[in-house]
Structure 1
Amino acid sequence: MSTATVLARAGRAEWARIWSVRSSWVLVTCLSLFILGIGVLAGLDAANNPASVPPGASAWDGARFTAMFALFGTVALAVMTSTADHATGAIVPTLQWTPRRSVLLAARSGVVALTVTLIGVGLVVGATVALWALAPEVGLPMGDGLRSLGDIVVVIGSGALLGIGLGLATRSTAAALVLSIALLLVLPLLVANLPFDWATTVSSRLPGSSALFLIFGEGPRDDMTVATARLTMAAWAAGATALGGWRLLRSDAGH
């Protein structure tokens, strides 16, 4: 059987595995209600208080706000789906079904990352459209939207791969979630506030700082650029995936 055929079969199995458990549906439903609710509330506020809308603001400014919530929700989903079969012991039949571990790594990383990215971006777009529908005066410029969504795709996609890699490396949902939140939220803020010159440089190299810069345009250093932020996010995603892949390929599934 060719590698392409095995990869396609493993990809279908990973897709089915995501949606065959109730927790995935519950998390996606809660995340949808939360993010779309933020869009509706922001739209109602803008419609009822037009003076509170800054000059030149558009509905895509709301998209950038909801993107942070989408990031953490999709990372949680990525971690949960990448560690679920280790937690239940189902990794054994998973490897019996796909004994080529490199194929399993490619299928799991690709399918899970693509799925959660599409969910996150779709919810951000939905919240943005809801805001605009309730307050059409804020506008929905296409150019601004493409730029915003491009950055959001990088942030959510890289965050998903980071969560998947940490999940495969730790084989623990709790540990991977703690590490993901630390890298994306806690450590960037903590290190940036240390009274040392090197602290801002270290903070700017963490994925959370790059995510904040791509979404809001602000970071711990004034010399941060979109290109460097995207490169930092991609490097952390690749490093975490490599680490998780190394453990999947080299370590016994039961340990």
Structure 2
Amino acid sequence: MSATVLARASRAEWSRIWSVRSSWVFLCAIGLAIVGLGVLSGIDVANNPDSAPDDGSAWDVARFTAMFALFGTVAWSVVTSTSDHATGAIVPTLQWTPRRGLLLAARCAVIALTVTAIGLALVVAASVAVWALAPDIGLPLADGLASLGDLVIVIGCGALLGIGLGLATRSTAAALVLAIALLLVLPLLVGNLPFEWAPTVSSRLPGSGALFLIFGEGPLDDMTPMSARLTLVTWAVAAVAAGGWRLLRSDAGH
């Protein structure tokens, strides 16, 4: 019975994503930004081969577009997770799926998997665009799999962070501000404070973990891919736990 209800709730969440105009706006905007930047990067490398990374491939050239994929998919996740609270549609949603734990599972799974798959597909498209315009730098499959492996964690955990913040605040604006602060503002701000502890605190923020996995650089010299992954996963789990607690424990109208 639970599996049936979960499947039904997942189908409803999938329909809800694509039944609102904002999802199509996000898809077009993110797609244009990421693929467009891939094309521009490919043109730049074709005209100036020295601008390509040493021993790098098209994956390396287009890797920076993952930051746009991250912020775009986080914003998309926030808007999607808060939309029915903003419109009052959460009431019929809970009438349709009164078992809130199953609703939480369906919402997290469907939104996170959808936006992560789209984000990865767009980064791949940007890499292919770079390679098509500058074929000499290559597009090795092994490099691509390694790069996409880290991006799954970056974009997936970012999506879950956005969903959790959205469910916890029930406010699109508040969740977006918190997400931007955790992913961009606070890591840079704290990391540049004139205190010995500042780089350590900055390295524990999700934005530092994402930047390290994308660019290989962080506030601490001893950061590792594993520590960055653990940081992202910890923040994603904490955000979903906070959002889930509010969904399960508080009235939908408050």
Q: TM-score, normalised by structure 2?
A: 0.99
Amino acid at match of 1:47: A
Establish whether residue 194 from structure 1 lines up as the match of residue 193 from structure 2: yes
1:55 CA displacement: 2.6
> CA-to-partner distance for each residue in 1:167-214, whole Å, 9 max, x for gaps?
000000000000000000000000000000111110000000000000
- RMSD over aligned Cα, in angstroms? 0.7
Question: C-alpha distance in 2, partners of 1:48/1:116?
Answer: 33
What residue number does 1:124 align with?
Answer: 123
1:215 lines up with 2:214 in the alignment: yes
Alignment of 1:93-132 (within 5 A): 93-132=92-131
Please give the secondary structure, in 2, of the residue aligned with 1:157: helix
Q: Distance in 2 between matches of 1:191 and 1:83?
A: 29
Q: Determine if contact 2:52/2:61 at 8 Å carries over to the other structure.
A: no
Task: Tell which deviates more after alignment, 105-114 or 57-66.
Answer: 57-66
State the partner residue of 2:67.
68
Aligned position for 1:14 = 13
Instruction: Give, in angstroms, the shift of residue 52 of structure 1.
Output: 2.5
Correspondences of 1:31-42 after superposition (within 5 Å): 31-42=30-41
Q: Partner of 1:159 in structure 2?
A: 158
Partner of 2:91: 92
Instruction: Report the counterpart of residue 4 of structure 2 in structure 1.
Output: 5
1:203 alignment partner in structure 2: 202
Alpha-carbon deviations, 1:67-89, whole Å to 9, x = none? 00100000000000000000000
Q: Where do 5+ consecutive residues of structure 2 fail to align?
A: none
Residue in structure 1 matched with residue 169 of structure 2 by the alignment: 170
Asked whether the equivalents of residues 53 and 61 of structure 2 are also in contact (C-alpha less than 8 Å), the reply is: no
Q: CA deviation at 1:51?
A: 2.9
Question: Structure 1 length normalisation: TM-score?
Answer: 0.98
CA positional deviation for 1:46: 1.0
Structure 2 Cα separation of the partners of residues 183 and 221 of structure 1: 17
Q: Alignment length, in residue pairs?
A: 254
Task: Show structure 1 runs of 5+ residues with no match.
Answer: none
| Whole-angstrom CA distance in 2 between matches of 1:176 and 1:51 | 41
Q: Distance in 2 between matches of 1:55 and 1:203?
A: 29
**Structure 2 equivalent of residue 250 of structure 1:** 249
